[in-house]
Amino acid sequence: MLPFAETVLAWRLARGLTQAALAEASGVSRPNLSAIERGNREVTMKTLRALAAALDVRPGILADGEAPKGNPLPLGREALERVAGAAVENRSLVDPREATLARNLGAVMASRMSRGTGARAPSRGQRRAADRAYFLLRSIEPQEVIASLVQRTTDRLARK
Protein backbone atom coordinates (compact mmCIF):
# COMPACT_ATOMS: atom_id res chain seq x y z
CA MET A 1 0.00 0.00 0.00
CA LEU A 2 1.39 3.36 -1.07
CA PRO A 3 0.74 6.77 0.46
CA PHE A 4 -1.97 8.66 -1.43
CA ALA A 5 0.53 11.08 -3.01
CA GLU A 6 2.66 8.27 -4.43
CA THR A 7 -0.45 6.42 -5.60
CA VAL A 8 -1.62 9.38 -7.67
CA LEU A 9 1.89 9.82 -9.07
CA ALA A 10 2.24 6.11 -9.92
CA TRP A 11 -1.11 6.03 -11.73
CA ARG A 12 -0.33 9.25 -13.61
CA LEU A 13 3.02 7.88 -14.78
CA ALA A 14 1.51 4.49 -15.62
CA ARG A 15 -1.08 6.23 -17.80
CA GLY A 16 1.67 8.25 -19.48
CA LEU A 17 0.17 11.58 -18.46
CA THR A 18 1.95 14.80 -17.63
CA GLN A 19 0.82 16.83 -14.65
CA ALA A 20 -0.68 19.35 -17.06
CA ALA A 21 -2.67 16.66 -18.89
CA LEU A 22 -4.01 15.13 -15.67
CA ALA A 23 -4.82 18.56 -14.28
CA GLU A 24 -6.80 19.43 -17.38
CA ALA A 25 -8.62 16.08 -17.49
CA SER A 26 -9.54 16.21 -13.81
CA GLY A 27 -10.23 19.93 -13.48
CA VAL A 28 -7.63 20.22 -10.71
CA SER A 29 -5.14 23.04 -11.15
CA ARG A 30 -1.59 21.93 -11.99
CA PRO A 31 -0.04 23.59 -8.92
CA ASN A 32 -2.65 21.89 -6.73
CA LEU A 33 -1.95 18.53 -8.41
CA SER A 34 1.77 19.04 -7.85
CA ALA A 35 1.15 19.68 -4.16
CA ILE A 36 -1.05 16.57 -3.96
CA GLU A 37 1.66 14.41 -5.55
CA ARG A 38 4.25 15.77 -3.11
CA GLY A 39 1.95 14.96 -0.19
CA ASN A 40 1.59 18.62 0.76
CA ARG A 41 -2.15 18.87 0.11
CA GLU A 42 -5.14 16.97 1.40
CA VAL A 43 -7.90 16.18 -1.08
CA THR A 44 -11.66 16.44 -0.85
CA MET A 45 -13.97 13.67 -2.02
CA LYS A 46 -14.74 15.79 -5.08
CA THR A 47 -11.04 16.01 -5.98
CA LEU A 48 -10.54 12.29 -5.29
CA ARG A 49 -13.40 11.42 -7.64
CA ALA A 50 -12.14 13.82 -10.31
CA LEU A 51 -8.61 12.38 -10.20
CA ALA A 52 -9.93 8.82 -10.26
CA ALA A 53 -12.16 9.54 -13.27
CA ALA A 54 -9.29 11.20 -15.15
CA LEU A 55 -7.00 8.25 -14.37
CA ASP A 56 -9.77 5.74 -15.24
CA VAL A 57 -9.65 3.98 -11.87
CA ARG A 58 -12.11 3.61 -9.02
CA PRO A 59 -11.69 6.22 -6.26
CA GLY A 60 -11.13 3.39 -3.77
CA ILE A 61 -8.00 2.32 -5.61
CA LEU A 62 -6.45 5.75 -5.06
CA ALA A 63 -7.71 6.00 -1.49
CA ASP A 64 -6.45 2.51 -0.62
CA GLY A 65 -2.99 3.17 -2.06
CA GLU A 66 -3.10 0.45 -4.72
CA ALA A 67 -0.31 0.88 -7.24
CA PRO A 68 -0.87 0.06 -10.89
CA LYS A 69 -0.18 -3.58 -11.51
CA GLY A 70 2.11 -4.73 -14.22
CA ASN A 71 1.30 -7.80 -16.21
CA PRO A 72 0.93 -10.70 -13.76
CA LEU A 73 2.71 -13.02 -16.17
CA PRO A 74 6.44 -13.17 -15.50
CA LEU A 75 8.82 -12.12 -18.24
CA GLY A 76 10.84 -14.94 -19.77
CA ARG A 77 14.58 -14.88 -20.40
CA GLU A 78 14.09 -13.86 -24.05
CA ALA A 79 11.84 -10.94 -23.09
CA LEU A 80 14.31 -9.77 -20.44
CA GLU A 81 17.13 -9.87 -23.00
CA ARG A 82 15.01 -7.95 -25.54
CA VAL A 83 14.21 -5.26 -22.97
CA ALA A 84 17.86 -4.95 -21.86
CA GLY A 85 19.02 -4.78 -25.48
CA ALA A 86 16.45 -2.13 -26.37
CA ALA A 87 17.41 -0.07 -23.32
CA VAL A 88 21.12 -0.16 -24.22
CA GLU A 89 20.59 0.46 -27.94
CA ASN A 90 17.81 3.03 -27.39
CA ARG A 91 15.44 1.26 -29.76
CA SER A 92 11.71 0.69 -29.50
CA LEU A 93 9.89 -2.58 -29.03
CA VAL A 94 6.50 -3.69 -30.31
CA ASP A 95 5.13 -5.16 -27.08
CA PRO A 96 3.77 -2.29 -24.93
CA ARG A 97 4.93 -3.83 -21.64
CA GLU A 98 8.43 -4.43 -22.94
CA ALA A 99 8.55 -0.98 -24.57
CA THR A 100 7.61 0.71 -21.28
CA LEU A 101 10.21 -1.30 -19.40
CA ALA A 102 12.93 -0.54 -21.96
CA ARG A 103 12.17 3.19 -22.05
CA ASN A 104 12.23 3.53 -18.26
CA LEU A 105 15.21 1.23 -17.82
CA GLY A 106 17.11 3.27 -20.41
CA ALA A 107 16.46 6.49 -18.46
CA VAL A 108 17.60 4.91 -15.20
CA MET A 109 20.74 3.40 -16.69
CA ALA A 110 21.71 6.57 -18.58
CA SER A 111 21.65 8.48 -15.32
CA ARG A 112 23.65 5.80 -13.51
CA MET A 113 26.25 5.51 -16.24
CA SER A 114 26.89 9.23 -16.47
CA ARG A 115 27.60 9.33 -12.73
CA GLY A 116 30.22 6.60 -12.88
CA THR A 117 32.13 7.63 -16.00
CA GLY A 118 33.32 11.03 -14.97
CA ALA A 119 31.20 12.53 -17.74
CA ARG A 120 29.28 15.70 -17.11
CA ALA A 121 26.87 15.16 -14.24
CA PRO A 122 23.24 14.68 -15.24
CA SER A 123 21.12 17.80 -15.03
CA ARG A 124 18.44 18.18 -12.41
CA GLY A 125 15.83 17.39 -15.07
CA GLN A 126 17.69 14.24 -16.12
CA ARG A 127 17.98 13.10 -12.51
CA ARG A 128 14.29 13.77 -11.95
CA ALA A 129 13.38 11.84 -15.11
CA ALA A 130 15.53 8.91 -13.96
CA ASP A 131 13.96 8.98 -10.50
CA ARG A 132 10.47 8.97 -12.01
CA ALA A 133 11.42 6.16 -14.39
CA TYR A 134 12.72 4.06 -11.49
CA PHE A 135 9.62 4.83 -9.45
CA LEU A 136 7.43 3.66 -12.32
CA LEU A 137 9.49 0.48 -12.75
CA ARG A 138 9.12 -0.25 -9.03
CA SER A 139 5.38 0.30 -9.14
CA ILE A 140 4.68 -2.03 -12.07
CA GLU A 141 7.23 -4.84 -11.79
CA PRO A 142 8.56 -7.01 -8.95
CA GLN A 143 11.96 -6.09 -7.54
CA GLU A 144 13.46 -9.33 -8.91
CA VAL A 145 12.55 -8.34 -12.48
CA ILE A 146 14.06 -4.87 -12.06
CA ALA A 147 17.24 -6.31 -10.56
CA SER A 148 17.54 -8.80 -13.43
CA LEU A 149 17.02 -6.06 -16.03
CA VAL A 150 19.58 -3.76 -14.40
CA GLN A 151 22.14 -6.60 -14.26
CA ARG A 152 21.55 -7.59 -17.89
CA THR A 153 21.81 -3.97 -19.00
CA THR A 154 24.99 -3.44 -16.98
CA ASP A 155 26.51 -6.60 -18.50
CA ARG A 156 25.66 -5.41 -22.02
CA LEU A 157 27.17 -1.99 -21.38
CA ALA A 158 30.35 -3.55 -19.98
CA ARG A 159 30.78 -5.59 -23.18
CA LYS A 160 30.65 -2.49 -25.37
**30-67: per-residue pLDDT in tens?**
999 999 999 999 999 999 999 999 999 999 999 999 98
Give yes or no for residue 138 having a pLDDT over 90. no
**94-135: per-residue pLDDT in tens?**
988 888 899 999 988 887 776 555 566 778 888 888 888 898
Q: Which domains are seen in the chain, by residue range?
A: 4-64 (1.10.260.40), 77-159 (no CATH)
Residue 33: C-alpha distances to residues 10, 18, 59, 73, 114 (Å): 13, 11, 16, 33, 31
